[in-house]
Amino acid sequence: MNEMNSRLDIETKKKIEKLKRIYETLRMEMQRKFQRDLPLAELLFDRWERAEKLGFGKGTSIYHSSYVYGDVHVGENTWIGPFTILDGTGGLNIGSCCSISAGVQIYTHDSVKWATTGGKAPYEHAPVRIGDRCYIGPNTVISKGVKIGNGSIVGAGSLVVSDIPAKSKAWGSPAKVEETR
């Protein structure tokens, strides 16, 4: 048994060393071409291919570190940054030509009543709609039931709990419309 384990260890170590060499080659190529250093999964997998497999619009990309749940629809040419959460359990629609920045979390459900009733009440669900040409700043959280109109900007670190009209700028926690363009 020990001989088998040591053989496995040697084979495993060889595979790990080969993977490290592949990783270093991919890192150097990414650094040379784009001056970026990315995690292994981002180097191995194509963001546009993932978006296509998820049924998102042509030209849309989504990082491998992003989570996607439920019924999520995304238009064309939208960029979905790393470390995002797209919860479509209540229905999520994101338009075309949007920028969903790193760390954005979009929820179409919550478990508040479920938790406060000791599990007796169901989770609550409500759809979220983000129009075309919207910018959602980094680390923004969007709550269930929110509609964000076409051409709107949401500032970084915002908590969006109510609708934002088209062509508006909103920011803060909770986000407030500060300007209509």
Q: Are residues 114 and 68 in the same domain?
A: yes
Give the separation between CA 129 and CA 150, rounded to whole angstroms.
Answer: 10
Domains of the chain: total: 2
Let me know: does 149 contact 167? Beta carbons within 8 Å.
yes
Q: Are residues 98 and 161 in the same domain?
A: yes
Span 63-100, pLDDT tens digits: 999 999 999 999 999 999 999 999 999 999 999 999 99
- CATH number of the domain bearing residue 166: 2.160.10.10
Span 96-126, pLDDT tens digits: 999 999 999 999 999 999 999 999 999 999 9
Domain that holds residue 144: 46-180
Q: What is the pTM of this model?
A: 0.88
Give the separation between CA 73 and CA 54, rounded to whole angstroms.
Answer: 9
Span 3-48, pLDDT tens digits: 656 666 888 889 999 999 999 999 999 999 999 999 998 999 999 9
Cβ count within 10 A of residue 150 = 17
Let me know: does 80 contact 66? Beta carbons within 8 Å.
yes
Q: Own/partner pairs for 29-37, CB < 8 Å, 24+ apart?
A: none
Residue 127 preceded by cis peptide, ω within 30? no
Q: Are residues 100 and 165 in the same domain?
A: yes
pLDDT confidence of residue 119: 96
Q: Are residues 172 and 108 in the same domain?
A: yes
pLDDT confidence of residue 10: 86
